[in-house]
């Protein structure tokens, strides 16, 4: 069997951002609407740093209004809730993202619940999770949304395919399963406690790995020709022992890429796969939120 086709998330995300940029320009000229995104960072988390660095640039590049609130790690939950409330009431802001994880003294669920569901561009509010699960218009979490766009671009007809999602988080696994179900896939949600995980994965026509364990999914867990979407972004020591000893790292997914690529029909690389789609979908969700709040039709080419 030939090597898997590489699903170019980075390239797809660049195209999506270009379409978003055109949509933003059109909204500005025809409706005087400038989508605005506020990102709130409490303290410093290394994974979040990667994300926020790229996000600010890309929001502005798309012609959108962008603000970042950087708060000290000692910020109280009340202070954070006050900021969220202020952003809820700010008409120039259509999307609010509170970067996770939050420091231990803050109840993340309380903060996410305080975000106006109409501005919840992460799609983490229970109202959006509920709307997604019953098939109502919702703001959909960025990572699964990006995975779904890549899948629809890769597979002509998803109907009836067996999709296995490894991972059951509220952020990726559960909403991913909802989207696949909506696309008429037969969906299995597996996780670390699943019996015969390898065997279940081998049944998958579509395998989505979102467990957060470096290279856990091996080549012999994959059915020949399957489409593999690797959501993991794990930092591990560099391959070269001397470099590793010097503290150098590299990024790997939840899938053992080299093994998987010789069995799968198509696969997302890490980096350059799902990660760039997450940020592009954050911009897309901000445009969606702005259009819905202004009662303006959503421009074509930026949704599922």
> Which residues touch 9 (CB under 8 Å, ≥6 apart)?
146, 150, 268, 269, 272, 273, 274, 275, 276, 277
**Under a CB-based contact definition with an 8 Å cutoff, are residues 97 and 84 in contact?**
no
Could you say which of 27, 38, 51, 211 contacts ligand GUE (CB under 6 A)?
A: 51
Q: Looking up tokens 């949704």, which residue turns up?
A: 303
Nearer to ligand GUE, 27 or 112 (CB): 112
* Under rule CB under 6 A, residue 279 binds ligand GUE: yes
Size of the site for ligand GUE (CB under 6 A): 20
Handedness of CA 115, 120, 123, 129 (dihedral sign): positive
Q: Rounded distance, CA 295 to CA 147, Å?
A: 28
Q: Is the CB of 97 or the CB of 190 nearer to ligand GUE? A: 97
The question of whether 99 is a catalytic residue gets the answer yes
94-133 mask for ligand GUE (x: CB under 6 A)? ---xxxx---------------------x-----------
283 binds ligand GUE (CB under 6 A): no
Cis peptide before 224 (omega within 30 of 0): no
In angstroms, give the least distance from the CB of 140 to ligand GUE. 12
C-alpha closest to that of 281 among 55, 111, 60: 55
Binding mask 247-266 for ligand GUE (x = CB under 6 A): ----x---------------
Residues 133-152 that bind ligand GUE (CB under 6 A): 142
Question: Quick check: is 10 catalytic?
Answer: no
Q: CA 7 to CA 210: how far, in whole Å?
A: 17
Take residue 211 and report the two structure tokens written for it: 């467990």
Rounded least distance, CB 71 to ligand GUE, Å: 14
Quote the tokens at residue 114: 């305080």
Residues recognised as catalytic: 55, 99, 122
Task: Provide the binding-site residues for ligand GUE, judged by CB under 6 A.
Answer: 47-48, 50-51, 54, 97-100, 122, 142, 233, 251, 270-272, 275-276, 278-279
């Amino acid at each position: 069997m030939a090597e898997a086709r590489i699903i170019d998330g980075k390239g797809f995300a660049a195209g999506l951002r270009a379409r978003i940029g055109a949509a933003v320009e059109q909204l500005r000229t025809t409706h005087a609407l400038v989508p605005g995104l506020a990102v709130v960072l409490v303290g410093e988390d290394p994974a979040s740093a990667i994300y926020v660095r790229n996000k600010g640039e890309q929001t502005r590049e798309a012609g959108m209004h962008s603000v970042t609130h950087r708060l000290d790690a000692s910020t109280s939950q009340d202070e954070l809730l006050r900021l969220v409330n202020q952003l809820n009431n700010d008409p120039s802001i259509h999307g609010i993202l509170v970067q996770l994880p939050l420091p231990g003294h803050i109840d993340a669920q309380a903060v996410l619940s305080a975000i106006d569901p109409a501005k919840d561009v992460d799609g983490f509010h229970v109202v959006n999770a509920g709307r997604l699960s019953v098939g109502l218009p919702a703001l959909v979490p960025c990572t699964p949304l990006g995975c779904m766009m890549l899948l629809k671009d890769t597979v002509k007809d998803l109907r009836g395919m067996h999709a296995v999602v490894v991972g059951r988080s509220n952020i990726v696994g559960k909403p991913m399963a909802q989207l696949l179900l909506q696309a008429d896939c037969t969906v299995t949600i597996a996780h670390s406690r699943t019996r015969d995980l390898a065997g279940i994965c081998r049944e998958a026509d579509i395998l989505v790995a979102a467990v957060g364990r470096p290279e856990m999914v091996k080549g012999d867990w994959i059915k020949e020709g399957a489409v593999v979407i690797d959501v993991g972004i794990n930092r591990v020591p560099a391959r070269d022992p001397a470099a590793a000893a010097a503290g150098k790292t590299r990024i790997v997914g939840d899938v053992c890429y080299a093994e998987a690529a010789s069995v799968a029909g198509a696969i997302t690389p890490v980096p350059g796969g799902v990660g760039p789609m997450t940020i592009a979908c954050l911009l897309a969700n901000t445009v969606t939120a702005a259009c819905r709040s202004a009662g303006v039709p959503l421009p074509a080419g930026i949704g599922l």
